[in-house]
Structures are given as C-alpha cells and as structure tokens.
Amino acid sequence: MAGCDISSGRVRPCKDSLGGNSTLYLYNELVDPFTVVDGEATAMSVALAEAWEFELEGDLNTFEQSMEAPRDTFSRVNTQTATFVFKVPDAATNAQFNFMVAGFVQGVLKDRNGNYWAIGSDDGFDFTVVHSTGGAKADGNLYTITGVATTGELAPILDSATETAFLAVVV
C-alpha cells in the first residue's frame, strides 16, 4: 500500500486567496498535452501549438473538481465541471461554440490568484451551450457554457516555465 499512502501534511495558509477565474484558454484535443509530476505541469507537449483566449468577466465563472474512489471498484475518477458566462452573443462566437460542442477541447484556466490549471487533459470537455435573453431590457443577453470532463487526477497547476511556454502559443 505504500504507493497510495500520504507522504506529507499541510500547514494552514494565509487568508489571502481570491475566488473566481479570469481567463479561459482552449485548444483542440491532444494526447498528454502536459507532463505532470506531483500535481504540477512541468513541461508542455510540442504538439500544443495553438490555444485561444476567452476573457472571463464577473463572478459567474466557476470550476469545480470532484474526486471519488469507490472501494467496490478500486477505481478513481475526478469529474471536472466548468461553467462560464459570456455576454453579447454574435455570429463569430456562435461558430466557435458550435465547434466546441462538436469537438473534444481541452484547456487551461487562469484563476484570480494567477494560477494556471490544466483542465480536461485526459479526454477533453463535453460542452453544452445555452443562449438566453431575458424578457426585461436590463436582463442578460448571454451564453452560458458548461463543460464536464473526467480525469484520473486533480487538475495540475502549470509551473512558471510551462506557463510561459503555454502563453507563447496563445493566438
């Protein structure tokens, strides 16, 4: 059992963290887009040559991970659920969201603390897109996209060198 025993603890962190996310980067599915060591992405595949930036606004953009390991099956799965809201729909965004739903996109999510998380890295996200407009003039006219991915581990954080390499391929 030594291969799955914990090997360290954690001290209480300072109260200086922010919730929320600031930027979503998406790219088309790749096998092993990052090399991951102990929960950290330490290198990026040379096959990852293009990623696209989606700026996030407001407090409605969430990312959640839920890891489970049932004793009955001795398996482990981490379900990642990401929800993002984009304002002011347009034809160009419609076209990209159509591709997103049809494909198996993977991504990197930058949180408000400056961490870059590799998300959907195993098999990509399955996205749903909802376009809605309210009845009142002050109601939202927006897209809500929700992506669900399953992975074997919690999303790794990109180290600084991998972050730099990744940002260099953002279109």
For the segment 25-37, what is each residue's pLDDT rounded down to a tens digit? 999 999 999 999 9
* Strands laid side by side in the 126-133 sheet: 62-68, 77-87, 141-151, 126-133
**In contact, 82 and 54? CB cutoff 8 Å:** no
Of the pLDDT bands very low, low, confident and very high (cuts 50, 70, 90), residue 15 is confident
Query: In degrees rounded to 5, what are phi and psi of residue 102?
Result: -75, -25
Per-residue confidence (pLDDT) for residue 12, from 0 to 100? 86
Of the pLDDT bands very low, low, confident and very high (cuts 50, 70, 90), residue 2 is low
For 42, the token pair is 């330490």
Please indicate whether residue 14 or residue 124 has the higher confidence score (pLDDT).
124
pLDDT digits (tens, 9 = 90+) for 139-166: 989 999 999 999 999 999 999 999 999 9
CA distance 75 to 131: 37
The CA-based angle 12-16-19, given to 5 degrees, is: 105
For 17, the token pair is 């963290």
User: CB-based contacts of 125: which residues, under 8 Å, 6+ apart?
Assistant: 80, 82, 104, 105, 106, 107, 119, 147, 148, 149
The CA-based angle 53-103-156, given to 5 degrees, is: 55
Per-residue confidence (pLDDT) for residue 103, from 0 to 100? 96
